[in-house]
Amino acid sequence: MNLRLARRIIALALMTAPVALNGCKEDRSAGGSSGGKSDAPVDRVAIVDLDRVANELGWMREMQNNVSNLSNSIRNDYTRLAQSYEQQLQQKKKDLGIKDTDTNEDISKKLTPQQQQELAVMFNGGRQSLMQVQQEANQRLMTYQQEWAKQYREALQPLIRQVAQDHKASLVIAQTPAILFTEPTVDLTNAVADAARAKPPTLHAVPLPQIQVPGTIGAASTLPAMSTTLPTMTTTPTTRP
């Protein structure tokens, strides 16, 4: 997974909901009005580029490293499983007296129809199991990325709320391509990043995915194929250059 994809995943998860700050709003019920117009100030809307905040805190790079390590581990486990299935298939052929040099005609003569059926079921079962493992591994990897992005969003929300209150903003929305222009005074990105460095938010570790697969082709019992151990994401942001 490249850095651009990691950024898109984090940005998508982080911007799923704006941070509403009702506690910062002025009380419009207090004081009178003249000519039907309220004297209360208009709510101030602020912007935070959550993608840039994650970059500055080093979260983007760290998640990319963890996902890359997990992806490599899954690939290695998949290779070992495929090799195990191949060894089982070769052992079955050996038990049936089949040689590598045997032609299809030779195999037909050596095996009964039932034995041929057993061998075909074993071959197709192993191939199907590998396809299912690959599909599940891809889904678990994507979920792992999304869960980390969710942790980032939830960890930043209290800081964004406090920064917004300090800057008298009543609503904070995530910077998106749909926002074409904002005044620099309403961009709280640097303030949020600085606040996160001063008081690092707590990130709860995302558990590594476990994928259950048959250890033996056609066996009822299952063994975990993914036995990965990755370093836990740190919660201390990096220092801005």
Q: What is the DSSP string of 110-153?
A: HS-HHHHHHHHHHHHHHHHHHHHHHHHHHHHHHHHHHHHHHHHH
SS3 231: coil
Which residues constitute the domain of residue 116? 3-21+42-224
- In whole angstroms, give the CA distance from residue 154 to residue 10: 12
Q: What is the pLDDT at residue 210?
A: 77
Categorize the per-residue pLDDT at 209 as very low, low, confident or very high, splitting at 50, 70 and 90. confident
Instruction: Report pTM.
Output: 0.61
Place of tokens 């979260």: 59
Categorize the per-residue pLDDT at 214 as very low, low, confident or very high, splitting at 50, 70 and 90. low
One-letter amino acid of 176: T
Q: Is the dihedral of CA 57, 60, 65, 70 positive or negative?
A: positive
Task: Please report whether residue 234 resides in a domain.
Answer: no
Task: Please report whether residue 230 resides in a domain.
Answer: no
Task: Please report whether residue 28 resides in a domain.
Answer: no
Count of domains forming the chain: 1
Task: Please report whether residue 121 resides in a domain.
Answer: yes
Q: What is the pLDDT at residue 224?
A: 37
Task: Please report whether residue 237 resides in a domain.
Answer: no
- In whole angstroms, give the CA distance from residue 195 to residue 202: 13
Task: Please report whether residue 187 resides in a domain.
Answer: yes
Neighbouring residues of 146: CB distance < 8 A, sequence distance ≥ 6 = 9, 13
- In whole angstroms, give the CA distance from residue 204 to residue 141: 18
Task: Please report whether residue 118 resides in a domain.
Answer: yes
Q: What is the pLDDT at residue 19?
A: 45
Task: Please report whether residue 182 resides in a domain.
Answer: yes
Q: What is the pLDDT at residue 48?
A: 93
235: pLDDT strictly greater than 70: no
Structure tokens at 10: 């984090």
